[in-house]
Amino acid sequence: MTLSFRDLKALGPSLRAEAARILRDALAHLPSAYGAPGAAEAEVAGRCSEDDWLGVAALRDGALVGWIGAIKTYDAGWEIHPLVVAPSHQHRGVGSALLAHLEARARGDGVLTLFLGSDDDYGGTNLFGQPLFPDVLAHAATVEATLRGHALTFYRKHGYRIVGLLPDVNGVGRPDILMAKSLASVR
């Protein structure tokens, strides 16, 4: 069964509700995820109303199985936010296909860099609980996933590299790991 891709903003109410469910379920392991009533629905509705955001839905046989978004932060740089796949469809290539689709779209729009933040607010990397100041960049060189499923591993597999850390932005010892990938042709 192959995937088809559609503009998330063009989906009807039932598929947008499904997008919210996938957002909530895919990130349920995160303490800061969309567990509060209506939070995931508000995130989907809010993103879909933003002019500088695009979303791509992956459908298999008409059913929504995942989606990816990008914030057009810079003229030549977009932030991936979010990438989520229904738990029943994870580890089947859906996330990789969504990422490849977004990268192709971004290249076509002249984007040179895609970037993202991969929070560790649950103990998914060796940075969790660690004091990262004063030498933050030294810690960036040592980042490793300690739990299966941390997004760091997925993005590294697809050519994204750590470009920085934001210590304590999710609470003490809970950093955001900044990653990026160049889409520019070899110079």
Residues in the chain, how many? 187
Helix, coil or strand: residue 175: coil
- pLDDT tens string 122-146: 999 999 999 999 999 999 999 999 9
| Domain 1-90 part of CATH 3.10.20.600 | no
Phi-psi region of 38 (alpha: psi -120 to 50; beta: other; left: phi over 0): left
Confidence (pLDDT) at 32 = 73
> Under CATH, which number does the domain 112-187 receive?
3.40.630.30
User: What pLDDT band is residue 1 in, cutting at 50, 70 and 90?
Assistant: low
Which DSSP letter does residue 186 get?
P
Environment class of residue 23 by beta-carbon count within 10 Å: exposed (0-12), middle (13-18) or buried (19+)? buried
- pLDDT tens string 5-52: 999 999 999 999 999 999 999 999 887 789 899 999 999 999 999 999
**CATH 3.40.630.30 intervals, the chain:** 1-90, 112-187
Do 115 and 79 touch, CB atoms closer than 8 A?
yes
From 17, 100, 24, 90, select the one nearest 60 (Cα to Cα).
90
pTM: 0.95
